């Protein structure tokens, strides 16, 4: 498993995905305006340079895979590369700084002093152990390539705990991708290593974007990127894999 989640992951996180998939289908039938027609746990390949924004809102207590949410949440964001994790990893691996000199370490000390705990770590020793884990993650991706959590666990079907260690993104009203909650270190490393694509899980969709999916499913030509590429969240519709 990844850096954040260990063998102590809740039992619900270890339930097979198919059980949740069937539950999502039921919820989609009952409330189609609140749940997507897409498989909520599908993995899509995305160019990491296309994920440049981070949603600014409190993280919900429970994951929202497959949810369709309206409102202005996609208008409140910060650049992903302004986050302490990205800045710290950039300093560590591009500028070859010691961890103690990085923005991430500084942010950790600030959080620890203010709250007595930072990112589930209650001591400097615990955080330094975390830093060594990040080093190993970086070296693994650099030397062996980027692998999905299911591949790393050597299972054919991921479980929820695996999805929490993948890069998760939301899709805004115009198709913009926003990093969300999970996989922050992996996304930062993918950017620093200039990887062409990474596997991501699409967490939520804006209601206006979901309408684009549904019109495409009904035959309307979808918006395309400057190079004519189909949006990664529309490939399943083209392939007929939607629900």
Domains of the chain: which residue ranges? 11-239
pLDDT digits (tens, 9 = 90+) for 68-100: 999 999 999 999 999 999 999 999 999 999 999
Query: Tell me, what's the pLDDT at 8?
Result: 42
Give yes or no for residue 11 having a pLDDT over 70: no
Residue 169 bridge partners (DSSP): 179, 202
Give yes or no for residue 242 having a pLDDT over 80: no
Give yes or no for residue 173 having a pLDDT over 70: yes
Token pair of 71, please?
């409102």
Query: Tell me, what's the pLDDT at 4?
Result: 46
Query: Tell me, what's the pLDDT at 135?
Result: 98
Query: Tell me, what's the pLDDT at 15?
Result: 66
Nearest to 210 by CA among 230, 228, 237, 229: 237
SS3 230: strand
CA torsion through residues 95, 98, 100, 105, sign: positive
**Residue tagged 């990474």 (tokens):** 198
Backbone angles phi, psi at 53, to 5 degrees: -125, 155
**What's the predicted TM-score (pTM) here?**
0.88
Higher pLDDT, 212 or 19: 212
pLDDT digits (tens, 9 = 90+) for 23-74: 888 888 888 899 999 999 999 999 999 999 999 987 777 788 999 999 999 9
Query: Tell me, what's the pLDDT at 6?
Result: 46
pLDDT digits (tens, 9 = 90+) for 119-163: 778 788 888 999 999 999 999 999 999 999 888 887 777 777 788
Query: Tell me, what's the pLDDT at 5?
Result: 46
């Amino acid at each position: 498993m990844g850096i954040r989640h260990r063998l102590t992951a809740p039992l619900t996180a270890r339930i097979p995905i198919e059980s949740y998939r069937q539950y999502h289908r039921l919820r989609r039938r009952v409330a189609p305006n609140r749940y997507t027609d897409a498989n909520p746990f599908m993995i899509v390949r995305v160019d990491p340079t296309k994920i440049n924004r981070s949603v600014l809102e409190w993280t919900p207590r429970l994951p929202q895979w497959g949810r369709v949410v309206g409102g202005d949440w996609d208008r409140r964001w910060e650049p992903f590369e302004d986050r302490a994790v990205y800045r710290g990893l950039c300093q560590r691996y591009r500028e070859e700084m010691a961890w103690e000199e990085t923005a991430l370490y500084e942010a950790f000390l600030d959080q620890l002093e203010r709250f007595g705990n930072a990112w589930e770590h209650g001591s400097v020793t615990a955080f330094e152990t975390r830093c060594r884990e990040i080093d190993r993650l970086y070296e693994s991706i650099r030397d062996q390539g980027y692998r999905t959590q299911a591949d790393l666990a050597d299972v054919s079907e991921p479980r929820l705990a695996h999805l929490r260690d993948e890069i998760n993104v939301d899709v805004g009203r115009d198709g913009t991708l926003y990093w969300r909650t999970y996989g922050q270190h992996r996304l930062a490393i993918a950017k620093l290593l200039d990887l062409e694509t990474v596997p991501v899980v699409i967490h939520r969709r804006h209601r206006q974007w979901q309408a684009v999916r549904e019109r495409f499913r009904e035959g309307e030509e979808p918006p395309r990127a400057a190079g004519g590429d189909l949006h990664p969240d529309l490939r399943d519709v083209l392939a007929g894999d939607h629900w």
